[in-house]
Structure 1
């Protein structure tokens, strides 16, 4: 099973990096498999640390993949050389256990060394799930046919229309703008 999270890392100079990423839990370890090129991968190899953040603020997912907002407040992690999202519901700090290199998609097996819960999880609404799916679509625009994207967006729009709050609408607008920008060939 893959869980959609926000992975935060820090470069050697402490500069934070925030990226949506699916993670797996296997044999007591957290498995990350970023596609190259990847700042997340580079930072983990350099510092041997990362943090997975659990959040219902889907603007973070949409903002990172669309480029409309990448600067979310962070603070230093408690036990690893990394950062965590200020507004996460919970986080888990990780240390690199093993690294299997691959030219396309290396596999990082990471051990949890610390975790905290900051706020209760009150559940997702359908619009939040739609934004996460929309963000995943945006990350794959280069390889998906336009008809598939249009079909998926039309279905996801139903959840946005029925259940979105202000944050979900902002995130959805970023996703729609990114799709339009991709189709026009414009760079952000």
Structure 2
């Protein structure tokens, strides 16, 4: 199973990096597969740690993909690092094994600490739409524009029917990024 999460890592200077990432969950093990090049990968290889943040605020997902990475953080308990203050739960991880790959290495991780901070109230379709649009944006250089446009048209239906203020703000950020990408490609 793949869970859409936010990964927080730190470099050797203690600077925090936040990245949306699908994490493979297999029983008691998490597998993180960042593409190269990746700040998340670099940080995890150096510190052998990471934090999975289970969050329902889709603005953070969209924000990380559109240059908005200044989100409130709190210190972790068992590893050197930070978790998002607005996360529902977090898991502090240690890397236990690496399967190296030129494109997408596999980092096998074990949770050393887990905490629930707030109950999950459920997703609305707009949150799903923002998450899927964020995934599309992370792959703009690899997908044909017709596919991207068709997906966005479909996702907008759910957004228009169920979005609150947070979802509309996140969607707006993503649409700005897409427009900037299209203008850059056309230039």
- TM-score bucket of the superposed structures, by smaller chain: over 0.9
What's 2:149 paired with?
150
- Whole-angstrom CA distance in 1 between matches of 2:27 and 2:130: 30
In the TM superposition, what are the counterparts of 1:1-188 in structure 2 within 5 Å?
1-67=1-67, 69-185=68-184
User: Aligned partners of 1:59 and 1:72: how far apart in 2?
Assistant: 10
Distance 1:183 1:55 in 2: 29
SS at match of 2:147: helix
1:144 Cα deviation from its structure 2 partner: 0.8
Which blocks of at least 5 consecutive residues in structure 1 are unaligned?
Answer: none
Relative to structure 1, the CA distance from residue 140 to residue 74 in structure 2 (aligned partners, 3 Å threshold; closer, same or farther) is: same
Report if the CA contact (8 A) 1:90-1:115 is conserved: yes
Between the aligned partners of 2:58 and 2:84, the Cα distance in structure 1 is 13
d(CA) in 1 for partners of 2:39, 2:31 = 17
Pairs aligned (count):
185
> Aligned to 1:5, what secondary structure does the other structure show?
strand
CA RMSD of aligned residues (A): 0.9
* Deviation for aligned residue 1:9: 0.5
Provide the C-alpha distance between the structure 2 equivalents of 1:6 and 1:110, rounded to a whole number of angstroms. Answer: 15
Q: CA deviation at 1:73?
A: 1.1
* Structure 1 residue 100: Cα displacement: 1.3
For the residues of structure 1 that align with 2:66 and 2:137, how far apart are their CA atoms?
A: 7
CA distance in 1, matches of 2:9, 2:57: 19
Higher deviation after alignment, 27-36 or 161-170 = 27-36
Residue 19 of structure 1: CA displacement? 0.2
Q: Distance in 1 between matches of 2:42 and 2:103?
A: 13
Cα separation, 2, equivalents of 1:37 and 1:75? 27
Q: Distance in 1 between matches of 2:59 and 2:75?
A: 21
Runs of 4+ in structure 1 over 4 Å off: none
